Amino acid sequence: MKKRSEKAALWSALVFPGAGHLLLKMYARGVLLLGTTVVALAYIVHSMFARGLVDQVNDLVDKSISGESNLDLDAVMKLLDLGPDPISVELASWLILACWVYGIFDSYRQGARLDLGAA
């Protein structure tokens, strides 16, 4: 049987940030990590759809496939300029990564503390 620390760290690493804390019944930390990650991820997805980037990319690909126009670098660069604000998306991405790494290490540490208490 795996120790609680190993199981919690694996849940946080492979399922979602905060999952290991929820497994350890540390609901406040787990929900905080989970909620922060979901909000950051939702921001990234929303910022892509809000500016119409996905629709414009689909139009460009459809025109290229149908032969109406060639896929040129200028059109792609214009779409990248219309995309989401790169700084805020980068910050949201770093926040997701920080939650994931913190979730893994803290759930392992908290699980190890509980393992010692149970022994």
Q: What is the pLDDT of residue 118?
A: 72
User: What average pLDDT does this structure show over 5-27?
Assistant: 95
pLDDT at 82: 60
**pLDDT of residue 90 exceeding 60:** yes
pLDDT at 50: 72
pLDDT tens profile 34-81: 999 999 999 988 887 776 677 777 787 788 788 787 777 777 677 666
Mean pLDDT, the chain, integer: 86
- The pLDDT confidence band at residue 84, using thresholds 50, 70 and 90, is low
Structure tokens at 57: 């990319």
d(CA 70, CA 51): 24
Q: Mention every residue, 6+ apart, whose C-beta is less than 8 A from residue 26.
A: 110
Residue 18, helix vs strand vs coil: coil
- pLDDT higher than threshold 80 for residue 5: yes
Domain ranges of the chain: 4-114
